[in-house]
Amino acid sequence: MRDARPSAIYLKDYRPPAFLIERTELAFDLHEDRAIVEATLHLRRNSGVGAGEALVLHGQELELLWLALDGRELGEGEYSLAEDSLSIADVPDQFTLSSRCRIRPQDNTSLEGLYKSRTMFCTQCEAEGFRKITWYLDRPDVMAEFEVSIEAEKARYPVLLSNGNPVAAEDLGNGRHRARWHDPFPKPAYLFALVAGDLRSVDDSFTTRGGRQVSLRIFVEEKDLDKCDHAMISLKKSMRWDEEVYGREYDLDIFNIVAVDDFNMGAMENKSLNIFNSSCVLCSPETTTDKGFQTVEAIVAHEYFHNWSGNRVTCRDWFQLSLKEGFTVFRDAEFSADMGSRTVKRVEDATVMRTAQFAEDAGPMAHPVRPDSFIEISNFYTLTVYEKGAEVVRMIHTLLGPEAFRKGSDLYFERHDGQAVTCEDFVLAMEEASGTDLGQFRRWYAQAGTPLLSVGGDYDEDAQTYTLSVRQSTAPTPGQPEKQPLLIPLAVGLLGDAGNLPLQLEGEAPNVESEDNTHLVLKVTEAEQQFVFSGVRERPVPSLLRGFSAPVRLEYNYSREELCALMSRDDDGFVRWDAAQQLAISVLQEVEGQIREDQAARVDPLYLKACETLLQDTSLDPAMVAEMLRLPGEGYLAELAARRGGARVESIHLARETVLKALALHAEATWLEAYRRNVVNAPYAPVAGQIAARSLRNLSLEYLALAREEHIALARAQYASAGNMTDSLAALRVISQRGTDAQRDEALDDFYRRWQAEALVVNQWLQVQATVPGEGALARVQGLLQHEAFDLRNPNKVRSLVGGFANGNPLQFHRADGAGYRFHGEVIEALNTSNPQIAARLLAPLTRWRNYAAPQGAAMRTELERLAALPKLSPDVFEVLSKSLV
Ligand code: 0A1
Ligand code: ZN
């Protein structure tokens, strides 16, 4: 934390490092009040770069005890120390630099660098945490072979882990012991990891396609040993999948995962020593929901896939973060699609894009997939870099087709193995392997903001042609007033009375090569463009952006009847879901208008009927039915309303409640039938069929509780008898949202008594409470900050309670008196000092202040201004505040 204004760094200023490190030797001596770190770096000048330059190492919050060059101790005049760096002016072309420093892991609440989580030592070095461990060239294009020794008290820390292979273990006789590790793969410092703790492991093994026997271990506290099976199964599935789909094999004899409770993100792909937030690895049917099981599978896969897309081939600089993250998210999404329901996975990902990433793209922190500048890189682990980055890779996959894409990925890995490279290198490999020109496509990496595609359709009955007119535009974003047209793959179909029609683009060879001639990917490249289909025998309904083929907003002036047709009959699952959403949005907006004009609210019966028909159709996947009948959230509706003159939280909330209730009452008997029909009698398993049934059953329960007070009894009975956390928590939510105060308090108390020993379950309990409706919500959340189960130092708890309130209780967070914002701001103020990364992340909901009408918008801004005036802002918080207030 500093007083001077932190400054931005720019991609255009990138220069290769003046020095390289060939080998890094680290020795850790861990104690209860300190850690001593000795580092010997084998350095040499990077030929051709900055001849004669001084050596400048990164370092933060380090106490330097000793420094030597080629074995000779350096005196004070021979180096200079600044707040974040250590420089030595005269160094030879090749030399070793040894340093000893003292750090205080016990006091490290930022959870960056070396810190203590409960009883164990652990590290988090991405992006720039290694500089809090020792003096170093802490940048991803400096890759070294690491040799690590760890010494600690044997009784408290029997397990000592680092990257690579164990090479020695010694008992030092004085109650202490030492382990030595060697990682043969050169790596940047951000992939370094160390763990010391009293841990147990679940062990398994995997034989690679090439015959390598890999020992797999998941390290946890003893009490959690029974919660590792799902992660282990997921790991083995991921290893097999990467061999089958990408031809990528694992490259060492061991692969370790460690679960820690205090962690800023989900997990970290450190070479052969993945460190996981315990919420992303531990699972059991009793304590984990279906969603939780799916998250664990996806994150285990994501971190494992990084071994190639991230570790073997890494990023040249942090502006290229999406090189590893976008590609790896695309890989994990395809893996999840292959393991479960492809359409449901696509709908979930499209929902995240449209609700949260589009909001980021429309807000003050908007940035391209490859940002041009940042103040604090930790602020750029965003939905844009991760999820939009994955959509960009998916579009390449769509444009090239699976075979050419695989050739491109093979070329990329082969050409760049062991290197630190750029997004451009990835695109070049894809271009070269496929022979496809991605010139215009590259703009997706550089241009921020969500493109808007406005489409019109025109049927000429005489000529039997159908013309799609497409216009694309992207609104200005901070620093980018002008936007260029992008290459947008627009997947389309034409829906006729008896199903999807064959497609023939005028002037193109017959579309026969694909067996599916009812689906076509149009390449939109111009600001305005027309596509003419010939031989169209009837007036069709266009089925657009099939499979969410590009991360764009689509506008087409559908009638409600047309949306109903798509929703019930189109053969693209995403389009069916999307039509249901659009229909719901148009009904919600209509009802909100009526409410604002003090008219009686009337919910279009066409919508209610379409929903009930859907719910009655037992031939459909219940998971898709549930997704289609789930109304868009209030946050998303507010985002849409922002473009129509400013969001009004009260009328949005009322409109949504009105439509929910109308749908609940209209289809009450059908909901009840769906609730009964979708009961799962088999023993719990996190498999697609069961998950689908539970999701529709629990959605039915939500609607039923709204239809009639008596149905709360169903929720109470379900809560009392549930044999798994999915059903138990779903019932608890319904009781808390819709039951009486007494019913709610009784259920919440019971739940806490039952689960107080399970931290991850208690976090769910905190979140449910954060979303309890009514005036008392803020006081309840404030009270919970003092609860024995809460701890401001634990990011999971902060996310559940404080994040849960801001994102999941819109009416109370956005109280007209501004008290919700003030509370939120005070938590951020406290975290600004202890954990700046989490503080900056929590700011996101307030940064959307421009979306809200008076008085909310102004009150949100006032809170941001109050925070901006505080002394000693962390760079993380400073960056978000300053960009939000311009
Ligand atoms: N690379 C990890 C995410 C990660 C990023 C930063 C962290 O600390 C600031 C921790 C984890 C991933 O993509 O899974
Ligand atoms: Zn990642």
How does pLDDT run across 758-792, given as a tens digit for each residue? 999 999 999 999 999 999 999 999 999 999 999 99
The per-residue pLDDT for 516 is 80
CA of 424 to the centre of ligand 2 (A): 19
Is 317 a pocket residue for ligand 1 (Cβ < 6 Å)? no
Contact 727, 743 (CB under 8 A): no
Tokens of 366: 């908007």
Provide φ and ψ at 807, rounded to 5°.
-95, -20
Q: Could you count the other beta carbons within 10 Å of the beta carbon of residue 755?
A: 19
Q: Enumerate the H helices of 708-835 as residue ranges.
A: 712-721, 725-738, 741-755, 759-770, 777-784, 795-798, 804-808, 810-813, 819-834
Residue 1 in this model has a pLDDT that exceeds 90? no
Is 268 a pocket residue for ligand 1 (Cβ < 6 Å)? yes
Which residue reads 């391209």 in tokens?
368
% pLDDT > 70, the chain: 99
Q: Which ligand is nearest to the CA of 270?
A: 1
d(Cα 99, Cα 88) in Å, to the nearest integer? 13
> Whose CA is closest to 457, among 541, 570, 559?
541
Is 274 a pocket residue for ligand 1 (Cβ < 6 Å)? no
Q: How confident is the model at residue 515 (pLDDT cuts 50, 70, 90)?
A: low
The per-residue pLDDT for 509 is 80
CA of 303 to the centre of ligand 2 (A): 6
Is 303 a pocket residue for ligand 1 (Cβ < 6 Å)? yes
Tokens of 438: 């991605």
First and final C-alpha spacing in the chain: 22
Residue 4 in this model has a pLDDT that exceeds 80? no
Q: Whose CA is nearest to atom 6 of ligand 1?
A: 126
| Mean pLDDT to the nearest integer, 44-71 | 96
Q: Could you count the other beta carbons within 10 Å of the beta carbon of residue 348?
A: 17
The per-residue pLDDT for 507 is 86
Contact 726, 761 (CB under 8 A): no
CA-328 nearest atom, ligand 1 = 13
> Whose CA is closest to 250, among 228, 234, 235?
235
Instruction: Kindly provide the ipTM of the predicted complex, given to two decimals.
Output: 0.98
Q: How confident is the model at residue 511 (pLDDT cuts 50, 70, 90)?
A: low
Tokens of 345: 């996975």
Signed CA dihedral, 412, 416, 417, 422: sign only: negative
> Whose CA is closest to 813, among 653, 656, 621?
653
Residue 401 in this model has a pLDDT that exceeds 60? yes
Tokens of 228: 């590792």
| Mean pLDDT to the nearest integer, 467-473 | 98
Is 325 a pocket residue for ligand 1 (Cβ < 6 Å)? yes
Ligand 1 pocket mutation, candidates 115, 117, 268, criterion most atoms within 8 A of CB: 268
d(Cα 153, Cα 177) in Å, to the nearest integer? 6
Q: Whose CA is nearest to atom 8 of ligand 1?
A: 126
Is 381 a pocket residue for ligand 1 (Cβ < 6 Å)? yes
Q: What residues have CB less than 8 Å from 150, skipping those under 6 apart? A: 28, 30, 160, 161, 162, 178, 179, 180, 181, 194, 196
Q: What is the mean pLDDT of the chain?
A: 97
Residue 53 falls in the annotated catalytic set: no
Is 852 a pocket residue for ligand 1 (Cβ < 6 Å)? no
Residue 320 in this model has a pLDDT that exceeds 60? yes
Residue type present at position 656: R
| Mean pLDDT to the nearest integer, 547-561 | 98
Greater confidence, 188 or 508?
188
> Whose CA is closest to 807, among 820, 794, 819, 791?
820
Q: Whose CA is nearest to atom 1 of ligand 1?
A: 268
How does pLDDT run across 707-719, given as a tens digit for each residue? 999 999 999 999 9
Question: How far, CA to CA in Å, does 535 sit from each of 1, 465, 494, 552, 555?
Answer: 67, 6, 12, 29, 25
Element (H, E) at 543: strand 541-544
Ligand 1 pocket mutation, candidates 281, 381, 876, criterion most atoms within 8 A of CB: 381
| Mean pLDDT to the nearest integer, 263-283 | 98
In 436-519, which ranges are E strands? 451-460, 465-474, 488-496, 499-500
How does pLDDT run across 585-597, given as a tens digit for each residue? 999 999 999 999 9
The per-residue pLDDT for 514 is 60
Is 124 a pocket residue for ligand 1 (Cβ < 6 Å)? yes
Specify which residues 73 forms β-bridges with. Answer: 68
> Whose CA is closest to 374, among 328, 324, 317, 451?
317
Provide φ and ψ at 373, rounded to 5°.
-160, 155
Q: Whose CA is nearest to atom 10 of ligand 1?
A: 265
CA of 40 to the centre of ligand 2 (A): 29
Which SS3 state, helix, strand or coil, does residue 419 take?
A: coil
Find the catalytic residue in 151, 303, 590, 639: 303
Tokens of 785: 């900050």
How does pLDDT run across 344-364, given as a tens digit for each residue? 999 999 999 999 999 999 999
**Angle 668-677/688-707 helices, nearest 10 degrees?**
150
Q: Whose CA is nearest to atom 4 of ligand 1?
A: 268
d(Cα 371, Cα 793) in Å, to the nearest integer? 30
Is 297 a pocket residue for ligand 1 (Cβ < 6 Å)? no
d(Cα 337, Cα 348) in Å, to the nearest integer? 11
Is 267 a pocket residue for ligand 1 (Cβ < 6 Å)? yes
Which SS3 state, helix, strand or coil, does residue 579 take?
A: helix
CA-267 nearest atom, ligand 1 = 14
Specify which residues 278 forms β-bridges with. Answer: none
Q: Whose CA is nearest to atom 12 of ligand 1?
A: 268
The verdict on whether omega for the bond into residue 855 sits within 30 degrees of 0, i.e. cis, is yes
Q: How confident is the model at residue 105 (pLDDT cuts 50, 70, 90)?
A: very high
Element (H, E) at 58: strand 55-58
